Amino acid sequence: MRAHAVLILLSVYVGVCFSQNVSAPNSVDQASVARIDGYLKSGDYLSALRELNYFIPRNPTNGYLYYVRGIANLNLNNRSAAEKDLLLARQTGYREGETIIDYFTSKRAMAEMFLKNLKLDAELDSARGFKIRIQPSDTLQGGIRPERTCYDVFFYDLSVKVIPENQSIEGSNTIWFTTISGTRRLQFDLFPNYEITSVKLDESTLKYDRLFGAVFVDTEKRLEPGEKHSLTVTYRGKPRVAPKAPWNGGFVWDKEKGRYHIGVACEHLGASSWWPCKDHLSDKPDSMRINLQVPAGYQGISNGNLRSVKDLGNMYTNFEWFVSYPINTYNVTLYIGDFVNFTEEYSNSLGKYNIDYYVLPKNLEKAKKYYAQTKEIIKIYEDLFGEYPFMRDGAAMVEAPFAGMEHQGAIAIGGDYGKENKKMEMWPEKYDYLLVHETGHEWWGNAVAIGDMADAWINEGFTTFAECLLAEKASGYTDYLKMIASKQRSINNLYPVVGERNINENTFLSGDIYNKGAAMLNNLRCILDNDSLFFRIIKDYYNKYKFRITTTEDFLKLVHEYSGLDLDDFFRKFLYDAEPPVLFCTYELDNKGNLKFTYQWTKTGPKFTMPFCICLNGKEVIRLNGTTSSQTFRAEKVKSFNILNENTFNERLTVPRNAFTYYYTSWPMI
């Protein structure tokens, strides 16, 4: 799933000046105003703070000065000081920055902004750090219980008829499974807005009970371990309409010049929002058949390979698709529309496969130009991680009536074909962000798959980091750093990256599973300071868990085995704590240019260690390795310096490799 737009409002960080919104206090002369403004615009936030610290005690009731100092502290990632300043700005009457003040000083306000942005109708729970309140339906969908663990699905045979005129569907699914442990009771899942017309185990019709989206079936006889059975469910009803696909999912019933253009996205919502299945990430079928019955004159596109097209004689056409690899249930999808198809062949060390493109006719020429980059993107990912994982099924991109989604072998690509890319800060112009991100999911999330939404950072963090690695492969290390800086600016630190298990937690809400997940991987690369080792870890992790279920613990164990390092404090801080480590800094800079800079990591475990960068005179960047013990760096002929972070990053600087990391700071003496 592509990263959603977050309400960072970083445009207010840089270049803020006293002439904005209110006038400077009379006691601040215009030369000082210009000087402070210049510091802010140039990114010299330490000097701006020195000036502000002089004027604020002389103007203790001027809220705007506190606000500007808060912005300067935010740019230094001195979050604690920034929050105090922003609250003082409000208390002293400053009202122009209310939204920003709320966002950076109140977790509740931040979480509510995300709910509003995603059109999520949910209640926040203060006892859970303002995560979404857990409902009984969440534990039924996300939980592991004996009624689920007693059987393993190896094949789905899904048939769905789509009836656009009343926005309804009807169909059946046969669930082929092997019994793992003896049982008389099974659970499958289907949202309660559907009518179930029959449930059969093999040839016997069974009774069932429903509780929210869970359906419990009592078998007539005990099923013994190792037995193979089929459970066939027929159903009908109106699927949920997506409030904001793909992040807040469901069906999208769109029209293009009076003709239907239909799609579905359901990653967190769950596949049982539109078809009956064992709706838990821990169980993927080995393969699957999908029959789409669509109105005559339209095409039905799904995952895998198209096996046949058949006129059903009732003004409907059946499109039979077959997926020959394991697939996440949320990745099973459909598209209905007037598509035109073009194809190209791709070759790698293992052979050849086709890449298919399905687009609306009006966008054909635009799409051909847009998709000219696909082969290059795939080639880079193959070099980084290994050959494209679904070669027998081929690859496909389908024009969707929503932004985008990583549906396996049938990736959804919204129809703006690169327009949004032009708005993306620090993104290489050659490659489109959406195509790069969703294609990366074929490796991370589709081939390597998680078993619980708590680990969704593996899907999104690795894919977001893959974007940065692609930039590095395509155009060099500086572009990699530009991408990393851009991702770090979008981190919110609202919740821990790893969520709570067995509740189908919405770990997408803050966006940190994307950007903080990527930042953690970059930080790990910097800590190891051995690219050969780092890339071997990433590639071997991919190959070990390709077509398998993986967890956060799997990755941490592999890193520890390969590196031989004790990184528990590092992973605990970046994956299980909401906030990053804090670099505690003090300094002395005399009028002769002698700098004494003292630093140590705080708010971490005792074994935490991580490098960072210091920039002298706006030119020289030096890598320092911090620990939880105090250290001192000295330099001469220093006119100015700063700590290089995502807000002070400048692509004109030569940054040492494996030195640019993500963290907060604390500056008690400025």
Which residues, other chains included, contact 470 with Cβ-Cβ below 8 Å and sequence gap of 6+?
377, 380, 381, 384, 431, 436, 440
State residue 18's pLDDT score: 44
Q: According to the model, what pLDDT value does residue 7 have?
A: 34
**Cβ pair 238, 195 in contact under 8 A:** no
Q: Contact at 8 Å (CB) between 162 and 151? A: no
More confident residue, 220 or 624: 624
Instruction: Look up residue 558 and give its two tokens.
Output: 């592999």
For residue 600, what are its two tokens?
A: 């140590």
Distance CA 271, CA 330 (A): 5
Strands 299-301 and 287-295: unpaired
pLDDT at 496 over 50: yes
Sheet of 411-414, strand order: 340-348, 351-359, 395-400, 411-414, 404-405
What pLDDT is attached to residue 666? Answer: 97
Determine the pLDDT at residue 502.
97
Q: What is the CATH number of domain 10-105?
A: 1.25.40.10
| C-beta separation of 100 from 64 below 8 A | no
Among residues 333, 310, 311, 308, which one has the least CA distance to residue 321? Answer: 308
Q: What is the pLDDT of residue 373?
A: 95
Is the confidence at residue 20, as pLDDT, over 90? Answer: no
Rg (CA), the chain: 27
Phi first, then psi, for residue 342 (nearest 5°) are -135, 155
User: In this model, does residue 340 exceed pLDDT 60?
Assistant: yes
165 vs 10, 436, 451, CA distance in Å? 44, 35, 37
Mean pLDDT of the chain: 93
Backbone angles phi, psi at 341, to 5 degrees: -120, 135
Q: Which two tokens stand for residue 104?
A: 């950076």
CA distance 457 to 617: 38
Rounded to 10 deg, the angle between the 374-385 and 456-475 helix axes is: 110
Q: Which of 145-159, 324-338, 637-651 has the lowest mean pLDDT?
A: 637-651
* CB crowding 418-435: b at 16 or more within 10 Å, else e: bebbeeeebbbeebbbbb
Average pLDDT score over residue span 359-379: 96
Helix, coil or strand: residue 51: helix
Kindly report the number of other CB atoms within 10 A of residue 585's CB atom. Answer: 22
* Residue 605 buriedness (CB in 10 A; 0-12 / 13-18 / 19+): middle
- Where do the domains of the chain lie? 10-105, 448-576, 582-666
448-576 homologous superfamily: Neutral Protease Domain 2 (1.10.390.10)
- The predicted-structure confidence for 44-67, as pLDDT tens digits, reads as follows 899 999 999 999 999 899 898 999
pLDDT surpassing 60 at residue 341: yes
- What pTM does this model have? 0.95
Residue 419 has pLDDT above 80, yes or no: no
Confidence band for 96, pLDDT divided at 50, 70 and 90: confident
| Cβ atoms 1, 406 nearer than 8 A | yes
Tens-place pLDDT, residues 516-549: 999 999 999 999 999 999 999 999 999 999 999 9
Q: Flag the least confident range among 95-104, 208-217, 567-576, 619-628.
A: 95-104
List Cβ neighbours of 265 (8 Å cut-off, separation of 6 or more).
1, 242, 245, 246, 249, 250, 252, 333, 400, 402, 405, 407, 412
At 532 the pLDDT is: 98
End-to-end CA distance of the chain: 43
Dihedral sign of CA atoms 253, 326, 137, 576 in order: negative
User: How far is it, in rounded angstroms, from Cα 407 to Cα 404?
Assistant: 9
Stretch 85-98: mean pLDDT: 93
User: Tell me: the pLDDT tens digits for 567-604?
Assistant: 999 999 999 999 999 999 999 999 999 999 999 999 99
Task: Give the per-residue pLDDT at 306.
Answer: 98
Alpha-carbon gap, residue 487 to 378, rounded angstroms: 22
Q: Are 432 and 373 in contact (CB under 8 A)?
A: yes
Locate tokens 């790069």: which residue? Answer: 436
Contact yes or no for 312/318 (Cβ under 8 A)? yes
Pairwise CA distance, residues 23 & 25, whole Å: 6
**Lowest-pLDDT choice from 29-38, 348-357, 404-413, 429-438:** 29-38
Helix pair 433-440, 374-385: axis angle to 10 deg: 40
Q: What percent of the chain shows pLDDT beyond 70?
A: 94
What number of CA atoms fall less than 13 Å from residue 504's CA on the CB side? Answer: 22
Average pLDDT over residues 627-650: 95
Stretch 301-329: mean pLDDT? 98
List pLDDT tens digits, range 245-286: 999 999 999 998 999 999 999 999 999 999 999 999 999 999
Contact 138, 209 (CB under 8 A): no
**pLDDT at residue number 30:** 79
Contact 208, 187 (CB under 8 A): no
User: What are 169-213's pLDDT values in tens digits?
Assistant: 999 999 999 999 999 999 999 999 999 999 999 999 999 999 999
Owner of token pair 């509003």: 116
Torsion sign, CA atoms 458, 459, 465, 470 = positive
Q: What percent of the chain has pLDDT over 90?
A: 88
The long-range contacts involving 34-43, CB below 8 angstroms and separated by at least 24 positions, are 36/68, 40/14, 40/15, 40/16, 40/68, 40/71, 40/72, 41/14, 41/15, 41/17, 42/618, 43/14, 43/75, 43/642, 43/647, 43/648, 43/650
pLDDT score recorded for residue 415 = 84
Q: Tokens 């000046």 appear where?
A: 17
Say which CATH class 582-666 falls into.
mainly beta
